[in-house]
Amino acid sequence: MGYFADSFTELFNADGWIDMGMYIGAGSSMPGWFTVIASVMLVAILVKGNNDEQDHYK
Amino acid sequence: MEDQILALTAELAAIKSAAQVTNTMFAEAYYYLTIPLMVIIHAGFLLYEMGQTRVKNVLSSGIKNLLAFAFTIITFYLFGWWFYWALPTFPYDLASGAGYMEISGIAYANAIALPWGDSAQYMGPNMGDHSSGVFWGAFALFAATTASIASGALIERIQTVGFVICAIVLGSFAWVVAAAWAWHADGWLVTEFGFHDFGAAGLVHAVAGFFALGVLVNLGPRVGKFNADGSANRIAGHNLPLTITGLMLIIVGFFGFLMACIILPGEGWSWYADAGTTIYGTPMTLSSLAFNVCLAASGGIIGAWVFTRDPFWMMSGCLAGIISVASGLDVYFGSHVIIISIVAGMLIKPCADWLEGLGIDDAVGAVTVHGTIGLFGVIMLGVFGSGIPALGAFAPEGVASVNLVGQIVGALVMFLLGFVPGYAVSWILNKAGMLRIPDAVQIKGLDVVKVPAQAFPESMKSK
């Protein structure tokens, strides 16, 4: 899932920046897996939050 | 001579390139700065909502508001942005290229608006893309605004997680569908009915206001709001100055919200190389906003003052004044704005009293100020603005112009896109026991039950 380039030299020397993702995992399936993990975290947090809230109301 | 021409040509190309870089960076900075301006809207809603809450519930109201902001923005990233690009021609056709502009449909949305796969390059750092992030950011703040609008109406008796789920449905789905149909240049309300709503009176304010109404029907009133004979009691918030200051901050943020509704010229995504436009590609300037927003805010205050001397309703009138002309801020003359906004200000208190008479406990008047006045504004543009082209000069033959029937149809759609999802999701939450806070807890106070902090010194007690 590494970064897309080891050096920016080639990009700086080009006519202009190319239209592509420039983040860790760009061009691989990793962003998608991180999105899945983030989504699961959100759902789990809501479930935990709701359980705690219901306990307060008992 | 030839060498001089070549040198001049090269110099001209360099100047043009530098000018384009400047234009691109200006456009990126312009939209980026609308984002913190719109965060001020949320600072305003936070103060407004907490000020309208009794001392015993202040922090709970604040927590609810903060979580709505946070969850709406993240879910808008995960799927809300995709709905905006996928649904403009739904239910007619979901194929890409189905709309006139060919910038909508499921395949198009899959290509630019999903945080995975190839489209991820437009959902994260990309040195060749100066627009996706700032446009997404502005839209995410529009989404969070809808959630904050609904939030105030529901204070002091809605459960936190239940409300967060409502906020996600509203901010990352309901209003997004409205925006796809009524804001996107491929949207069927625009192309088939000539619907025009530059500043989102319908697709943000009315949708959010009537979403709140749908929730209120299932949620019920606060304990003590209504007597056995049906008469209403006034439940005063603990800090009116906080509420009024919050409302003024919302107005400040509105200037940023409306700035973000303009499409700047000279970029690949612009409608024109040399003229600013609305999102529909129709001509407009920031100057028109300067005239009309200032006048509308003032007209709303004056209109509200006619029927009430209460500063809460006068500042709500300020908000209502802007909402009432938001649909046509790009085309109204100042005197139109003064007339419409004064009438809007006059309408809010009687409308809120009427709603209360029906047994609806809208704690801040959000249904009236955002919902009713939002629809009023949409229809007023049909009254005053019929005949305006719905799209810019690029529009193909057969696209409708702005007309009263189209605005009424749009108003009806906005009402349904707000009320139906609001009613449906709150009905499900109610059945699951996740909607209403038990009456005993409401009486005791929410903060002491579920917040590990105190808002004020113990000397400040709630009645």
Q: Quick check: B127 and A54 CB within 8 A?
A: no
Distance CA A31, CA B273 (A): 35
Distance CA B277, CA B262 (A): 6
**The pLDDT value given to residue B407:** 97
Confidence of residue B462 (pLDDT cuts 50, 70, 90): low
Q: Are B286 and B277 in contact (CB under 8 A)?
A: no
Nearest to B161 among A19, A26, A53 (CB): A53
Alpha carbon separation from B142 to B42, B147, B148, B307, B436 (Å, rounded): 11, 9, 10, 31, 27
Nearest to A21 among B120, B160, B164 (CB): B120
Distance CA B397, CA B77 (A): 35
Alpha carbon separation from B78 to B88, B106, B136, B285, B362 (Å, rounded): 19, 15, 11, 33, 31
Q: Quick check: A23 and B124 CB within 8 A?
A: yes
**The pLDDT value given to residue B457:** 72
Taking residue B92's Cβ as centre, other Cβ atoms within 10 Å add up to 12
Distance CA B396, CA B263 (A): 20
Residue B463 in this model has a pLDDT that exceeds 60: no
Chains A and B: how many Cβ contacts under 8 Å? 68
pLDDT in tens, B31-76: 999 999 999 999 999 999 999 999 999 999 999 999 999 999 999 9
Nearest CA in chain B to A54: B434
Q: Is the CB of residue A51 less than 8 Å away from at least one CB of chain B?
A: no
Half-sphere exposure of A50 (CA within 13 A, CB side): 17
Confidence of residue A16 (pLDDT cuts 50, 70, 90): low
Could you give the ipTM of this predicted complex?
Answer: 0.92
Burial of B247 (0-12, 13-18, 19+ CB in 10 A): buried
Residue A58 in this model has a pLDDT that exceeds 90: no
Q: Quick check: A22 and B126 CB within 8 A?
A: yes
Nearest to B74 among A29, A32, A42 (CB): A42
Q: Looking at residues B419-437, what average pLDDT do you find?
A: 98
Half-sphere exposure of B94 (CA within 13 A, CB side): 11
Report the percentage of chain B scoring pLDDT > 90.
Answer: 85
Q: Quick check: A21 and B125 CB within 8 A?
A: yes
Most confident of B2-11, B98-107, B113-122, B159-168: B159-168
**Among candidate residues B463, B430, B370, B374, the one with its CA nearest the CA of residue B152:** B370
Residue B441 in this model has a pLDDT that exceeds 70: yes
Q: Looking at residues B3-10, what average pLDDT do you find?
A: 94
**The pLDDT value given to residue B96:** 61
**The pLDDT value given to residue B256:** 95
pLDDT in tens, B173-218: 999 999 999 999 899 999 899 999 999 999 999 999 999 999 999 9
Task: Extract the tokens encoding B458.
Answer: 């113990």
**The pLDDT value given to residue B93:** 74
The DSSP line for B39-84 is: HHHHHHHHHHHHHTS-GGGHHHHHHHHHHHHHHHHHHIIIIIHHHH
pLDDT in tens, B149-173: 999 999 999 999 999 999 999 999 9
What b/e readout covers B364-386, taking b as 16+ CB neighbours within 10 angstroms? bbbbbbbbbbbbbbbbbbbebbe
**The pLDDT value given to residue A2:** 72
Question: What domains are defined for chain B?
Answer: 25-450 (1.10.3430.10)
Most confident of A14-23, B66-75, B93-102: B66-75
Q: Quick check: B129 and A56 CB within 8 A?
A: no
Nearest to B128 among A17, A32, A49 (CB): A17
Residue B6 in this model has a pLDDT that exceeds 90: yes
Shortest Cα distance, chain A CAs vs residue B441, angstroms: 7
Mean pLDDT of the residues in chain B:
94
Q: Is the CB of residue A22 less than 8 Å away from at least one CB of chain B?
A: yes
Q: Quick check: B78 and A35 CB within 8 A?
A: yes
Confidence of residue B413 (pLDDT cuts 50, 70, 90): very high
pTM for the full predicted model: 0.94
Q: Quick check: A54 and B433 CB within 8 A?
A: yes
pLDDT in tens, B303-349: 999 999 999 999 999 999 999 999 999 999 999 999 999 999 999 99
State how far Cα B10 lies from the chain centre.
47
Q: Is the CB of residue A30 less than 8 Å away from at least one CB of chain B?
A: no
Residue A51 in this model has a pLDDT that exceeds 60: yes
**The pLDDT value given to residue B460:** 64
Nearest CA in chain A to B119: A21
Amino acid at B322: I
Nearest CA in chain A to B429: A50
Report the percentage of chain B scoring pLDDT > 70.
Answer: 98
Task: Extract the tokens encoding B5.
Answer: 């021409």
Q: Are B323 and B377 in contact (CB under 8 A)?
A: yes
Taking residue B291's Cβ as centre, other Cβ atoms within 10 Å add up to 15
Q: Quick check: B161 and A46 CB within 8 A?
A: yes
Nearest to B121 among A26, A35, A53 (CB): A26
